[in-house]
Structure 1
Amino acid sequence: MSAITGIFYRDGRSVDSKMIKKMNDQLSHRGLDGSKTWFEGSVAFGHQMLHTTPESLQEELPFIDDETGLVITADARIDNRKELSELLEMENNKNVPDSLFIIRAYEKWGESCPENLLGDFAFAIWDPDKEQLFCARDHMGVKPFYYHLSDDGFFFATEMKALFTISDVPYELNELKVALYLMQEDTDKKLTFYKNIFCLTAARSLRISQNHNQLEKYWELDPLHQIILDSDEEYIQRFQDIFAEAIQCRLRSAFPIGFELSGGLDSSSVVCMAKDISKNVHSNLTNINTFSMIFNDFPQVDESYYIKSVTDACEANPQLIISDKISPLEKIESILWHQEQPFYTPNMAILCNMYKTMKEDNIRIVLGGNGGDETVSHGKNYLRDLATSMQWKKLIREINGYSKRVNIGIFNLIIKEVLIPLTPIFLKNFYHEIVPFLIMKRSENKCFILNKEFVRSIDFECNNNSYFNQNKTIKTAKEAHYFDINNISNQSTMEMIDKIVSEFSIEPRYPFFDKRLVEFSYAIPTEMKFRFGWNRYIQRMAMDNILPKEVQWRPLKKFFNPVYEKNLLLFENNILKKIFCHENLMIKEYVDIEMIKEFYKEYNSGRGDIVSNRYIWLVTLLDLWLNESINKKKINLVNERRA
């Protein structure tokens, strides 16, 4: 959770040392253990250091390699150090930082080096011989990397706020991103809320020279990859081994480690597997410190029973954080400063409260269960697969098991999970034409919330748009799994959490987003992901005798929607009234103001549904962010253009 910054003037002018220092200082909150810059000619790097691993205690960045002249700045944890040490003929001990492994990998493999690295990383290397800059981001997009590129210069940073200290970098609202945000269809991973500020997306590298730039995807999941083993036991054992290794390599720390524990299958699996690993004589994990949010006033979402089952079984040191009475907008100015742009989750304030507790307990590393749903898979579309392949016996078995697990009638499940998905597109379209307009708007037309003039002004075509029709071609369970793994929400969630925890000097790590676990889970047969009506089947079986039974075979998990829906209205109705009951010229530019006012009336009276209540949150946050964070003069210029 360190920070990196950089400047490369492609037109050859020299960097002013004050500029890179100004960029670096803007990210001082991310590195309490040191700040350093390097500059030479037209290139400059910066780094804010937060020590996490034992090797980082000896690390100093930016680093200049005397032998090759290569210069690196990096926010990285490399997990395959042992294998790399053999391939690169270098020592693997606490005196060798991870950044040196990256430098040596670049020496050996050049621009192919990220393919050979495992772990979480974002780095930039200046190659003086080639007079080029090489940047890369890890396979799953855990470490953030933002940049601005023009003919004259290239500027990058861990957070966008550092870029805006440079006069060459524009500061202008990206209205296409606003539209996609309001439609909840953020499928373009590189876009930000600022024009010409881009995100280097997961598994990408970027090569920049004076006259050329090349963006490449160095890794992607093979959609056709299959792993066929001889027995269920082999699949289960292999999953368990890979999962254990994914956790083991993320336990490398020079500081106390914390575990997020929600009581769900994924976070509980991480905690219990870590406890199992700690029994090994070579493990340096002595304490299992868990942090859990509990909701005494919301029994419908409270997970205390499952949390206690795990902490008792693991003999953990539990921190139970009461989170009932926290407004979704608590400390929103600070949260928006760190986040830099609107976000989807209304649970940010309660997450901040949990990370604050971790900091008070001197936690610097936290492991969580994020990514379990996407990596292991719920086996979506498996019932349809069985129907189309006429495997009737299996289909009946799975429908029966599924019905018992979710307590839904067999007939309703057949309609929902088999018949409707198999209905031809032209019949679905006909149905949508004859249903009531409002129902159609809320369920299918993602543009219904937008101001029609705004849609026309950005020349955005709502129907059949490539931004949000990608999942309509999905037919099989394997295709659904591929889509879930590559979903932008994974990268966006990790970027969001990275910015939350930066305030508290904590580094988040995600065992379920280990590349090896992702590749294995995707390639195994769907029957190992969904069996006897149970989703996540292979994970449940792999955690046998490790996870408490009541957690291992939980049929469903709980969601926080009732908490934010009640607390937003309870604590912040004055703000909501200002936004939705007055003539809000700023929001009016982007949303159908009459429709959103109607949604507010429904929400305020307790008649709102999940769809309308969700839009209340999105529009509220957008309004607050526009007022707090955007250059109003430039927004006014946009409005004048429309007028």
Structure 2
Amino acid sequence: MSGICGIIRLDGVPVGRAELEAMTSRAAYRGFDGIEYHCHGPVGIACLSLDTTPDGAGACRPVIERHQGVIFAADARLDNRDACVAVSPFPHSMSATDAELMLDMLLHAGEQGPARLLGDFAYALWDPARLELRLARDSMGMRTLYYRIETGRVLFATEVRQILALKDVPRRLNVQAVGWHLCGMQTPPGQVFYEGIEELKPAEEVTIDRAGRKRSRCYWAPDPERRLRYPDERAYAEHMRELLTEAVRCRMRARDPVGVSLSGGVDSTCVASMAGWLRGQGEAVPAMRAYSWIFSELPECDERENIYRIADHFGIPVHEVPAEETYPLVEDALNQPHEDDPFFSMFLPFMEKSLSAAAADRVSVMFYGFRGDVMCGGNVNDVPGMLLAGHFRESCRELSALSQVFSLSWPSTLSRYLVRPVLADTLRGGAFVSGWRALRRDGPSGSEKSDAGAHLLPRGPMRRAAEHVSSAFLHQVGLPPVEPVRVAARVWPHSAPRNRYIHIFSPLVTRGVTYAERVAAQHGVGLADPWSDRRIAEFILACPQYCVDTASEGKRLARRAMVGIMPAEAIRAVGKVSPEPLYLGALRDKAYHKVLDLMTQSRCAELGFVDEAMLRERFERFERFVRGDVPSFDLWPTLSLEIWLRRFW
């Protein structure tokens, strides 16, 4: 939403305001409520304020601590203001901005300070006594912060393009980041597409001293040993409801009205229902407006019936966005990536249309349900957990449902969902498991695919690359054999929560959220995702996973948590419909010639990233697209990268 940037001259040279103005000009849309500068000798910091709060608590401006001379800047929404007020030494703390309260906590709690902050934030703290710069990013990666360490100078900013605004910063493509992008767009946090610029990872704090030396630490991580064991499954639903209520309430600290990107699926209907219920309970929360995709030409994608069940029940007006106006790649103005990186959704036109309408309605914050799928869905199965809990009949029903859903024989079902997870947990760390992992081929959800030639397939990130991506290029850039998120997940002792961790902290999801925040900010609108609340992540990871999601009852925990909040008929009917036919329609018809143009004399081929002839041949197998034999998503990483390269390189 807001933005920060700064220059710290470690060589003592004064920072000129003109340099900061060059940086702020590249993200001026983040300064709708004003831009403030602080230049004092070798320190220059600028804050671009896009404050969505009704009382000014979300204002972004430099904070100077008078006693120690600490200078602080934060792009933030603080959820635990009361905890920060309790440690603040100042009598005005109740009326302080979120940034001021954050600084109080950081100075009071020392190294524990960042972990005690709840909310979405990125901050910079300059300590003149120690001549140290501290940079940090929130636990779930909802806000971004980039930095560049040079001889005698450190640069930092909310967006990469702000750092690139300085004329003496070189523009060199980081080909390893390109390799990650072409492997299923699973570019890990910390990977930047410009050499020499670094990104704070979620829950990372970086300290840079007077010599330009960097120290990095992870200040928070969910506890892999924490387990919740309630006597009744209803208790998990009640706990989930309490957490989602608080997550929505915290994000409703906004000017009236707020918006919600409302579909007929579980994630957004839970958010809209909770907001409507809070308002019905008399809480002082803003009114909500819904912005929904309406499919007239593709009725199989239309979710109007359940959208209006929710909207009518809670009195939420709906702005309909016709899908026919949002075909991918058709209208250039609606299909543009950001300069920072090539990641953008094939369904960006809907987001652009809905945010444009929301801005016209003076919406302050748009609510999404981005992490709902990975928190409460995602096909994380826990048959062993069911059996250990004594739910024998339910485990049999679950195995039967898995057999039907994935068209597996009973032996294959038992092997995949019972025998292998038990062996992996029992023999974890042994030679058997190491050898088995070397041969397995993981799908996007962490499930295994049986393949007689599995030993011939690429391993690690490269297995996600489409056949037209150059294997020589991928080997050249040196992608690791195991994705960082999977390495981090190894500390989890059981396969089901381990897979849930991989889902929640998926690089694809994290990058998707940060890209959406940039798009919203460009429309002067804040972004909120209650499903990305750290407290919900901690709870979900501690739950028995069979309570969270099953094949026989998708997003089981979320549905049960909404009993008494969402209309019963809507709970029974919720179920996300894929808008993929819109994308396929663009490939086959609406944007056919444009796609061919992107594959002709392509920058991707010129730079050695893809085989252009193979790419075109793959695209032109339309009859196979119709039958679904060719995964259509395989083309999108290349198309999005090509558009980005043509525009910015």
TM-score normalised by length of structure 2 = 0.87
Is 1:584 the counterpart of 2:585? The answer is no
Alpha-carbon distance change, 516 to 439 in structure 1, aligned in 2, over 3 angstroms: closer
> In the TM superposition, what whole-angstrom CA distance separates every residue of 1:517-553 from its partner, at most 9, and x where no partner exists?
2111211222321468213222211111211234323
Distance in 2 (CA, whole Å) between partners of 1:403 and 1:64 is 61
**Letter of the aligned partner of 2:39 in structure 1?**
F
Number of the residue aligned with 2:68: 68
Number of the residue aligned with 2:219: 218
Do the aligned residues in 2 keep the contact of 1:379 with 1:481 (CA within 8 Å)? no
Alpha-carbon distance change, 100 to 467 in structure 1, aligned in 2, over 3 angstroms: closer
Structure 1 position 261, deviation (Å): 0.7
Q: 1:484 aligns with which of 497, 500, 503?
A: 503
Distance in 2 (CA, whole Å) between partners of 1:562 and 1:416 is 34
Distance in 2 (CA, whole Å) between partners of 1:146 and 1:332 is 28
Alpha-carbon distance change, 60 to 265 in structure 1, aligned in 2, over 3 angstroms: closer
Q: 289-298 vs 383-392, which deviates more?
A: 383-392
Distance in 1 (CA, whole Å) between partners of 2:61 and 2:241 is 36
Alpha-carbon distance change, 573 to 113 in structure 1, aligned in 2, over 3 angstroms: same
Alpha-carbon distance change, 349 to 555 in structure 1, aligned in 2, over 3 angstroms: closer
**Letter of the aligned partner of 1:233 in structure 2?**
R
Q: 2:559 aligns with which of 540, 547, 552?
A: 540
Alpha-carbon distance change, 533 to 296 in structure 1, aligned in 2, over 3 angstroms: same
DSSP-derived class of the 2:44 partner? strand
Distance in 2 (CA, whole Å) between partners of 1:205 and 1:468 is 18
Do the aligned residues in 1 keep the contact of 2:264 with 2:574 (CA within 8 Å)? no
DSSP-derived class of the 1:4 partner? strand
Q: 1:517 aligns with which of 532, 536, 550?
A: 536
DSSP-derived class of the 1:278 partner? helix
Structure 1 position 140, deviation (Å): 0.5
Q: 83-92 vs 368-377, which deviates more?
A: 83-92
**Letter of the aligned partner of 1:327 in structure 2?**
Y
Distance in 1 (CA, whole Å) between partners of 2:409 and 2:456 is 30
DSSP-derived class of the 1:535 partner? coil
Is 1:495 the counterpart of 2:519? The answer is no
Distance in 2 (CA, whole Å) between partners of 1:294 and 1:8 is 49
Do the aligned residues in 1 keep the contact of 2:326 with 2:350 (CA within 8 Å)? yes
Distance in 1 (CA, whole Å) between partners of 2:367 and 2:88 is 30
Structure 1 position 408, deviation (Å): 6.4
Structure 1 position 93, deviation (Å): 7.1
> In the TM superposition, what whole-angstrom CA distance separates every residue of 1:279-312 from its partner, at most 9, and x where no partner exists?
2334233x23111111111112111111011111
Do the aligned residues in 2 keep the contact of 1:340 with 1:629 (CA within 8 Å)? no
DSSP-derived class of the 1:553 partner? helix
Do the aligned residues in 1 keep the contact of 2:398 with 2:551 (CA within 8 Å)? yes
Alpha-carbon distance change, 382 to 64 in structure 1, aligned in 2, over 3 angstroms: same
> In the TM superposition, what whole-angstrom CA distance separates every residue of 1:77-99 from its partner, at most 9, and x where no partner exists?
11111222123254577732111
Distance in 2 (CA, whole Å) between partners of 1:51 and 1:481 is 34
DSSP-derived class of the 1:83 partner? helix
> In the TM superposition, what whole-angstrom CA distance separates every residue of 1:16-42 from its partner, at most 9, and x where no partner exists?
221011111221112211012111122
Alpha-carbon distance change, 37 to 603 in structure 1, aligned in 2, over 3 angstroms: farther
Number of the residue aligned with 2:367: 367
Number of the residue aligned with 2:192: 192
Structure 1 position 106, deviation (Å): 2.1
Distance in 2 (CA, whole Å) between partners of 1:400 and 1:431 is 19
Distance in 2 (CA, whole Å) between partners of 1:373 and 1:278 is 25
> In the TM superposition, what whole-angstrom CA distance separates every residue of 1:305-342 from its partner, at most 9, and x where no partner exists?
11011111112111121122323125546754635321
Alpha-carbon distance change, 436 to 58 in structure 1, aligned in 2, over 3 angstroms: closer
Number of the residue aligned with 2:302: 302
Q: How many residues align?
A: 625
Distance in 1 (CA, whole Å) between partners of 2:440 and 2:75 is 48
Is 1:597 the counterpart of 2:616? The answer is yes
Structure 1 stretches lacking a partner, 5+ long:
631-643
Structure 1 position 172, deviation (Å): 0.7
Distance in 1 (CA, whole Å) between partners of 2:177 and 2:14 is 34
Number of the residue aligned with 2:523: 504
Do the aligned residues in 2 keep the contact of 1:183 with 1:449 (CA within 8 Å)? no
Number of the residue aligned with 1:641: none
Structure 2 stretches lacking a partner, 5+ long:
424-435, 442-448
Do the aligned residues in 1 keep the contact of 2:38 with 2:44 (CA within 8 Å)? yes
Distance in 2 (CA, whole Å) between partners of 1:526 and 1:233 is 14
Number of the residue aligned with 1:352: 352
Alpha-carbon distance change, 4 to 444 in structure 1, aligned in 2, over 3 angstroms: closer
Alpha-carbon distance change, 257 to 12 in structure 1, aligned in 2, over 3 angstroms: same
Alpha-carbon distance change, 426 to 388 in structure 1, aligned in 2, over 3 angstroms: farther
DSSP-derived class of the 2:56 partner? helix
Number of the residue aligned with 1:414: 413
**Letter of the aligned partner of 2:56 in structure 1?**
S
Number of the residue aligned with 1:250: 251
Distance in 2 (CA, whole Å) between partners of 1:451 and 1:60 is 45
Distance in 2 (CA, whole Å) between partners of 1:42 and 1:439 is 50
Alpha-carbon distance change, 130 to 46 in structure 1, aligned in 2, over 3 angstroms: same
Alpha-carbon distance change, 93 to 105 in structure 1, aligned in 2, over 3 angstroms: closer
Q: 257-266 vs 79-88, which deviates more?
A: 79-88
Structure 1 position 45, deviation (Å): 0.5
Q: How does 1:127-166 map to 2 (within 5 A)?
A: 127-166=127-166
Distance in 2 (CA, whole Å) between partners of 1:148 and 1:43 is 15
Do the aligned residues in 1 keep the contact of 2:125 with 2:134 (CA within 8 Å)? yes
Distance in 2 (CA, whole Å) between partners of 1:488 and 1:528 is 25
Alpha-carbon distance change, 608 to 184 in structure 1, aligned in 2, over 3 angstroms: farther
Do the aligned residues in 2 keep the contact of 1:145 with 1:159 (CA within 8 Å)? yes
Alpha-carbon distance change, 555 to 253 in structure 1, aligned in 2, over 3 angstroms: closer
Number of the residue aligned with 1:234: 235
Distance in 2 (CA, whole Å) between partners of 1:532 and 1:382 is 10
Distance in 1 (CA, whole Å) between partners of 2:623 and 2:457 is 19
DSSP-derived class of the 1:50 partner? coil
Alpha-carbon distance change, 539 to 494 in structure 1, aligned in 2, over 3 angstroms: same
TM-score normalised by length of structure 1 = 0.88
- Percent identity over the alignment? 23
DSSP-derived class of the 1:235 partner? helix
Number of the residue aligned with 1:46: 46
**Letter of the aligned partner of 2:273 in structure 1?**
C
Alpha-carbon distance change, 253 to 129 in structure 1, aligned in 2, over 3 angstroms: same
Distance in 2 (CA, whole Å) between partners of 1:128 and 1:456 is 45
Number of the residue aligned with 2:382: 382
